[in-house]
Chain A
Amino acid sequence: MELRAEEITSVIRREITDYQEQLKMESVGTVLTVGDCVARIYGLEKCKSSELLEFEGGVNGIALNLEEDSVGAVLLGESRKIKEGQIVRSTGQIISVPVGDAMLGRVVNALGQPIDGKGPIATDKLRPIEINAPNVVGRQPVKEPLQTGIKAIDSMIPIGRGQRELIIGDRQTGKTAICIDTIINQKKEFDAGNPVYCIYVAIGQKQSTVLRVVETLEKYDAMKFTIIVSASASDAAPLQYIAPYSGTAMGEEFRDTGRHALIIYDDLWKHAVAYRQVSLLLRRPPGREAFPGDIFNLHSRLLERSAKLSDKLGGGSLTALPIVETQAGDFSAYIPTNVISITDGQIYLQSELFYAGVRPAINAGLSVSRVGGNAQSKAMKKVAGSLRLDLAQFRELEAFTKFGSELDKSTQAQINRGQRLIEILKQGQYEPFATENQIAIIFAAGQGLIDDIPVARMKAFEKEFLLYLRTSCSGVMETLRTKKELTSDVSEGLRAACEAFKKEFK
């Protein structure tokens, strides 16, 4: 609907003639000092913690420190505009961001304002960025799978809707890539009319990185169900601090209306650093690694809001994939251990594996999913059951591979199997696999049906085998897709297809 200028004029005229206001006493404060995105304010007697404050000149702030005769606040805007002696008003509200379907496909800042140059966002729904997580009664166990489309994850470290799964690793190990692939894989669900809305929160990232993510998602047509919240490295620390909470508020809108959403925090290490900066400037006492004492609560209250709601509340879910970057593989630093203990499992990425060509560079031994198992389909559970064990045995024997012929037959066989399993778990970027394809290929490798294919030719085999299955065995694949069970018919069908194809392949 187009809005005409006369209509706006008439509305404004009506508003002005009807406008009445009651004078009332307001509690105000005056700015004592300002600088580095924090301000100290005298007065504001009735101010509450984390209340939204209004400064002169339209800048907003959040009251964080309530002291005997002053209030310490962080500024969500340019601190240059604020001067000593200016009047500060408290609003009695917590800062809110716009939410709703109109946000999809947009890039917004930490306050929910569009920064993609596509004009204003038409939504009148607001949600406070800090609310309590759903309580025990309002939840139910994680039971539906969230398919990432990545073979190694969906088989061994399954993620369920409502789960919080940490992705942890050094820089340049493919942490963001896993998340982007997961978003791209949700396109199938979206097209099938059962969407998982995605929110990607970039905290302290380079603007160029955020742009690349947006472009990738646009290229794979995944922006239409995605919101990007960006508090880049050049934004003030308070904006980086509130960005994940804003993103979660947008996700909760989907969760609380009985839909499913996925939120990615990229990354919480930088979020902690931004909060550390704010805390130190507010003169809160530093603790370990100079982080403030409430850094654990900062992340736990954020991640607790990701949940699977009970059917009474609509059964919606919010799944979280927080990312934490480690420094030189130090998983026992403060923030990584904190977030590991909060989340329902973690995916370890290792640079050694990455450079050895195992991509995604997931360390299957250290990665776990504490609740996702219940969400895995029966067929996947069956084929993946032995996968972990085989890989663990392979890793033990891996050191012996150098000795080659001196090994006995069974050891040799185990090493052979392991090498092929590693090979099929490799996967290119932006190439999500459908669940039935994952099951078929893992079944073939796990059952030893392809032990006689040379390791170097595994990739080609996989590609052509899947093509063969789609064209010549569509019946079996269809049953697998719809029933999601590995009945004896299906497994016999897969076995026969594999044997038949192997003859063609050679």
Chain B
Amino acid sequence: MQRRMTWKEFCFVLPLLLLVMVFSLYPILSSFVYTLFDYQTNNQSKNALYTGATLNAALYAEDCDYLVHYLKKDVDAVAEADKPTLQVLMDTLNVQKTLYAVGDTKRALNAGTGGEIAGLIAQTRQTVQSLAAKYPDLRIVQKGPTLLDEMETCLVKSNFVGLQNYQRLLQDSRFGQAIGSTVEFTLISVALELVLGMALALIMDKAIRGIGLVRTTALIPWAIPTAVSALIWCYLYDGSSGVVAVAFTRLGLIPSPEALLTTAAGTMFSAILADVWKTTPYMALLLLAGLQVIDRGLYESSAIDGAGARRTFTGITLPLLKPSMLVALLFRTLDAFRVYDLIAVLTKGTPETLSIYAYKMMIGQSNYGYGSVIVVAMFALVALIAFVYVKILGAELIRE
């Protein structure tokens, strides 16, 4: 029976809660918030979360400065009658420039100011157009229109898009393909790791001389950082000098040595092989821990009852190992599902798994809004996997 926490106890837990909030809940929540915006860092009208009309003051002032700069010289080039027009325009723009050049680079706009600025841009455009026929060589005529176009982009509108990014996700065939590759990678590599890891664990569980050495050496692949082991495999798979690539070609498994790192099937195979090599020892270690807690007396009794090795394995080892096996599978499935570093180093991004796709969207294309949607979708899928393992397969895991 659990009792209620007292205030004093709560005070002791509070720092932990705060840490969790700052370092765990806050980033997750901001990812969720990003998904609701068309947030792209390579576009100055979308490079933040704009909820209302905003002025890109820095760029606006810069553009005003450019126009003023061009007008200064142009004033001398026009007829006396046109000088006042240019002078007035120049003064107006100069006021705007001094108004917005200092202070916040981004400012919230009320409808009035926004309208004024839009009106000023339109008016300037008209003046420039009226000058164009008479003085085609003026700098303001030649450069003005492009600058005015840019000034219009300074009036930033809200980039809140609601659930549009999610809608796009549902129609994104590349996302579907990414799920496909991720699932394929996860299923095959985890299945192979389970079988090989089990075999390795059974060997390491035997109390024979020199087993310590076997256990230590078996763990080496897992101890190597993934980026380093991926680089090692990269050399082995290399089309022109890689040992593995050449051996496979001689054996007739692949048409040419380059196939391992350049074809779709080749990269999937290469990634799975490298992953299995690296994480089988980890699987074996988790299973070994499970094997060691099985009461040795059970094996003795079954031997006395005349059970063979196979019967002992299916009747005693497997059922008693099930909790450890489920924990190991859960860990490995989630790990494999989120695979990024191995593929990023090995092939720079093929097969395109979910993590790779999210990375390409966010960092490669600077699209944080849509990239976050992919991340959130991954988050949901990972939660689903964990749920399936815990609820359906491993009810006994948390029964105790």
A and B bound?
Answer: no
- A residues apposed to B, CB below 8 Å: none
